[in-house]
A and B are shown apart, each in its own frame.
Chain A
Amino acid sequence: MLAAAHAAASTDFFLVYLANIIMQVQLNTIHKQFGSLVANDEISVLFEPGRIYGLLGENGAGKSTLMKILSGYQRPDRGEILLGGAPQHFASPRQALAAGVGMLYQEPLDVPVFTVLENYLLGRAAGGESPRQAARALEALAQRYGFDIDPHEHTSELSMGERQQLELLRLLAGGAQVLILDEPTTGISAEQKDILFASMRTLAREEGKTLILVSHKLDEVQELCDYAFVLRKGRLVGGLPLPCPNQQLVSLMFDELAPRPARRQLGQHAPALSLQSVQVHTGRLELEPVSLQLQAGQVLGLAGLEGSGQELLLRACAGLLPLSGGSLLLGGESQPDWNYPLARQHGVAYLAAGRLEEGLVAGLTLTEHMALVSHTHGLLVDWPQNRKLAEQHISTYQVVGQPESYIENLSGGNQQRFLFAMLPQNLKLILMEHPTRGLDIRSTDWIWEQLDQRRAQGTAILFVSADLDEIAARSDQIAVFSGGRLLRSLPAAETSADELGHLIGGAL
């Protein structure tokens, strides 16, 4: 197998051909269960070399589990993996890579404090090459796929897309014949996406490698892949050669889909939030002066690559970061000493992306959460009262759980519902980071319904999302950020997700 891997790196046609035959990937009746949840239910698929596959499905359909099994990160309960007809038992990702299967994770699994070269070297067989030689080999490899990488740069200074390129090179240098890419276009620029797709085509067409793209973005899969497998609720529900009508894929991926209700315009011409030349500085990024207006009942979506400054602005509005310049007005009133406790007092709520990291307290029950946020004065907690309150919220917000359940035992969607349940009434402003990241379509729609009800009461909403569809569909006004600058602010009606993508990408 290793010999095959080395041979493929050469351009010798015959050896490449031989390697292709060997690297056919077959998954037979793969079964994996976590507790009572069946993540993979007897899945059998075949991946041929030289082709690019799309693996589609909703959140929680079992895509990631299946790919983690193929790449040696998890072991199946039942079923077998065959490479070129030979059964494999991967005990670790390293073994899988040695056999020729490499996976690129959504969040690159590298060591941020290391240099690029150190990350490249980590886990490579020593083989007597000096660091200097390795650096040269890395640069040569990068050049071949059109990547621009400095081996001596610190990895933490790289963009998401560059870290991905580094991981890809590392896997290729390690002899990967089968490459799995898990949602690789999340958080990278349009330009980097084009480079990535070009390199994927080269790898498949010219070098005969097998590529598997795990994604929920139909457009990307249509653009790049030859064939798509669709998973739903842990089962393989079909495979289609591409391109094909989107509707066919959608009907495989989802059961019946209620049409999304038309958006109501709810701008009330009462100022909710007004930012005047607001500046924010952190050690990493400086946000140049931003001026924005938000009316009561309006939704303002902040678009941009991760780390472009929109998150800083959101946190500054929440009082979690100090303004280093400009002024912030809430409901027309200037707030010179803005901070988070003050923001809460003024009816501003902030929901962070990491629910269990920033928002909920693992180890506390739902009742305890209610007691924690209830503003009754007095020393002692009225437990029966808070339990009743928790019960009410559970039924109103359709949370699957009990008052005595520990919050960390709820699913992500239910945690998000409970966070909404804990929000006070009559808020002036809700600030959200990635409000529906990791949620299925039903929870997503439910969340935005809740937000619409709040808007009807005059609550303004400011949110950051990496999902451009979400930004385009849910916002009244959109602000596009790039490199610490507000690039443009435009009405949502005048743009689309595609156009936003070009805006973000073109800025680079």
Chain B
Amino acid sequence: MSATEMKRRDFFKTGAALGGGLLLSLYVPEWVLADSVHEATPLTPSIPPFAPNAFVRIGTDNIVTVIVNKSEMGQGVYTSLPMLVAEELEADWSKVRYEPAPVDAAYNHPVFGIQMTGGSTSTASEWERFRQAGATARVMLIGAAAKNWKVDSASLRAENGYVINPASGARASFGSLAEVAATMTPPKDVPLKDPKDFKLIGKPTRRLDTPDKVNGAAQFGLDIAIPGMMTVLVARAPVFGGKVLNFNADKAKAVPGVKNVVQIPSGVAVIAKGFWPAKQGRDKLEISWDDGPNAALSTTGMREQYATLAKTPGLVARKVGDPTKALAGATKTITAEYEMPYLAHAAMEPLNCVVDLRSDRCEIWTGTQFQTGDRAAAAAAAGLKPEQVTIHTPLLGGGFGRRANPASDFVIEAVQVAKAAKAPVKVVWTREDDTRGGWYRPMWSDRFTGGIDEKGNPVVWAHTIVGQSIIAGTPFEGFLIKDGIDGTSVEGAADLLYGIPNLQVDLHTPKIGVPVLWWRSVGHSHNGFAVEAFFDELAHAGGKDPYELRRTLLADQPRMRAVLELAAQKGDWGKRLPAGRGRGIATHFSFSSYVAQVAEVSVDKQGAVRVHRMVCAVDCGRVVNPDTVKAQMEGGINFGLTAALKSEITLDRGRVQQRNFHDYQMLRINEAPEIEVYIVPSTEKPTGVGEPSVPPVAPAVANAIFAASGKRIRKLPILKVDLRG
């Protein structure tokens, strides 16, 4: 278990033992704390008939609205969290609706203490609270019926949206009881169902948000329009950290529809009547930039620096046994270096933010994963108090971490624009702005030394990791960085599950002026590849079957061993394939979930790689909506394939060299493999689903390429590696 995972687990325990209030004071950063201490405010001015808690509202029309405190970015929270409420409420599922939560301390993440969506924690962290919210409401509705019917509430039960008196056969719909239920005192600690009685949880359930997503009705941030709103494009520095020296806006201002051009801290903003004039105006700006300290940055230079660092031991994240001594006694040693590039999140909906700033309040519409932080940051930028700032969270056209920025970059900038524009604004990022805007998955270099004994078994595993810290400089520093080691840099590496007696994982954290951020599966996105690809090398060096060796070394890891065996069996491990085809296998433990995958790949004489089939087994504890788990595994695999095969962000003279989908490529349907997903039944607590399928993809594919062609992939993306016959 990595430092990060351990901390998360500890906090789960501590949180449960101490309760939310105390938990906050343990680690929540100052800006968060300032915002979190105020009391929960009423949700809407018109109090609905029955709103027993912050998460449930029942109208006289029988509609049950579940207020969801997580941002919907494709992962299905607008369905899975309502399912938790509906299960305990005994609601009629056809009457259940969702509504995004406003920003309020009542909606804070029970573990992280701020309102946010991330870390594949939505189901795990709300598993108790949302069911409790439903159970409390049910008890109150039953209480209302008991009062109306003058019977003992113990003689009544709720079922499919009604309270029923089995003795008399009387039935009352939830809606008809709403007004009386609203007068009842909410009970505390209502016992939850025995899981064997679940009717909804665990059943494949269609998503509530799908109909709106197939007729154009779904509203994403970019679709928001408010009266008097101007559209704004910002010309940002071509080099990270650059500043405007001076600019001439005459030609830009001459574009019909351009209303104004103003300088803001991040660059020059063109304020116009729509996207097109704003774009035309921005293209006509003449700006001189001071490129600042990062003007000479290049990927080539960084690679050299990283490779040199990788040859020296860094800060030790984990040490087991005596690797140095054991290496001296090993029968065979192998060394390998791995490289992974910066990656942009490239959500389909480019970043955007709508701001209506007034003297005493500020209203914001933006697809954010980070409401509390963004509100505090917007308030500071606007010179207001956090409670004067309202954030509406529309649907997110993908997030993948980019919309959870502790620096709140796109929100602060939009508030600054609104201040200068003196009108409601929508700041729109073009695809080019989004691709070049930074906040990337860090670039990494990894160096391994492995030692094998006379029987071919791995006895030494030494892993040096080089890459920027995501957490350094953020309010999470105190929580996630310990003794100079960013837990997210070594997650999925320091917590290696394989039983190897001598192990060392160490870390170098160079400071580079490229802004970095979590990207779907965070540190696991890089360690998953490096660790599982090198494990394959070690297996072959010792003459072992990579699947059998994994099985043997997972003797103490029954859950991982089970998913490994399932993936191997379903993925036809060991069965013959035609020449030019190969299978690769990989496992990875992340976000407390266990995943194993088998990739089936062909490599032709021209070196073209095709991934034909991906078989995935997952153990993510108890499953709320199996179809969502399946969808997240499928999506994560295609997301992982894009990174494995195609994309990289590179820099030259401080400038990002990619712009749009022609040079920052995405997997397309003609390249998407057949995917099979198998879920291991479990009665353990739910764990992560959104991210854990990403890390094993690249190594499974790389290992399959080795099986197909004899060529080792130690560098991503694979498209850039020469695999010709």
**A, B bound:** no
Which B residues are within 8 Å of any A CB, using their own CB?
none
Which A residues are within 8 Å of any B CB, using their own CB?
none
